[in-house]
Amino acid sequence: MKAIRQYEFGDAGVLKCEEVPVPVIAQNEVLIKGAYTSINYADIKSRIGSKAKGAFPFTLGLDIAGFIEDGGNTRFKKGDRVIAFPDTGSYAEYVTAKEDLVFLLPDSISMEQAAAMPTVSILAYMLLHEVAHVVESDVIVIHSAAGGVGTMLTQFAKLFGVRKIIATVGDLKKAEHVRQMGAEVVCHYDDFVETVLEETEGKGATVIFDSVAGDITQKSLACLANYGTLVQFGNSSGLKGEFSTADVHSSCRNIKGFSLGTTRKENPKRLAPAAHKIFDYLLAGKVHIPITEIFELQDVQRAHQLMEGRTHQGKILLKL
């Protein structure tokens, strides 16, 4: 089978398309013949070595959509349409995955939409409903709103009916796309504090979602309401966010962290309710996952370059 592997950290040029053996399943695992996989920003960070480091060579990729090739001793059977979070990367024609991290896909959801869904949609749903516990009266801020998770956070928040969605972007050319997803207010990272305070009559937002970190953390606290929640779930800037305990205790504000990767490893059963709810939304036409471009597996280098350019709006897929 074909798989993308890398033997060193570096730019997109380190990604190599190779012939490798089909993996063998263990107990409570399935073998999946992939149809599509998605590219996530976490893949870029892993490729350059800024995330946890594994042994070379390794294969990138967090999620996949495809067909069960071998169900082993699990509840799945050959031919089942599924999405999954594989054990050792998803940039490959065949992957193995643990039963708890495989979800049966309804027939009327296309493989392309399915492949665009797992990481960004499940993460966004859990952030809203299990981490932030949003309510209809909330005014929320979504940083990096044109990205994959930001796009789904915006749609889910609009669907839930929060009072106001304020979205931030690094390029105002993306503003119209974000408004189409459901944001009432779109602003640039540079001036979001002033915009949030103006939109809330000086009170601040009740929930802020941040995957950027760096100085965005301090700026977010500057416009977070008393009793508000800052949800920190990434640092795409590569910079750590910092705050003083004095920023939170007297104002009764709280900061919550969340990682879908940690949850997949330590509490995988938490993902199933979110996945099934998102299937319902897709079947009802209530949400849509924009897809920017689909690349052939051997064109993975170009796909990564598009992701790093940050000019895209929506998901980038690899056809397996």
Q: For position 52, what pLDDT does the model report? A: 63
CB 85 within 8 A of CB 62: yes
DSSP 89: -
Name all domains of the chain by residue range, CATH numbers in brackets. 2-117+289-319 (3.90.180.10), 122-261 (3.40.50.720)
CB-side neighbour CA atoms (13 Å) of 254: 7
Cα–Cα distance measured from residue 318 to residue 296, given in angstroms and rounded to the nearest whole number: 6
Residue with tokens 């189409």: 180
For 266-276, how does the pLDDT look when each residue is reduced to its tens digit (9 = 90+)? 999 999 999 99
Tell me how far apart the terminal alpha carbons of the chain are, to the nearest angstrom: 10
For 14-65, how does the pLDDT look when each residue is reduced to its tens digit (9 = 90+)? 999 999 999 999 999 999 999 999 999 999 999 999 876 778 999 999 999 9
| pTM for this predicted structure | 0.95
For 170-185, how does the pLDDT look when each residue is reduced to its tens digit (9 = 90+)? 999 999 999 999 999 9
pLDDT class of 236 with cuts at 50, 70, 90 = confident
pLDDT class of 235 with cuts at 50, 70, 90 = confident
pLDDT class of 311 with cuts at 50, 70, 90 = confident
Question: Is the confidence at residue 156, as pLDDT, over 80?
Answer: yes
CB 197 within 8 A of CB 204: yes
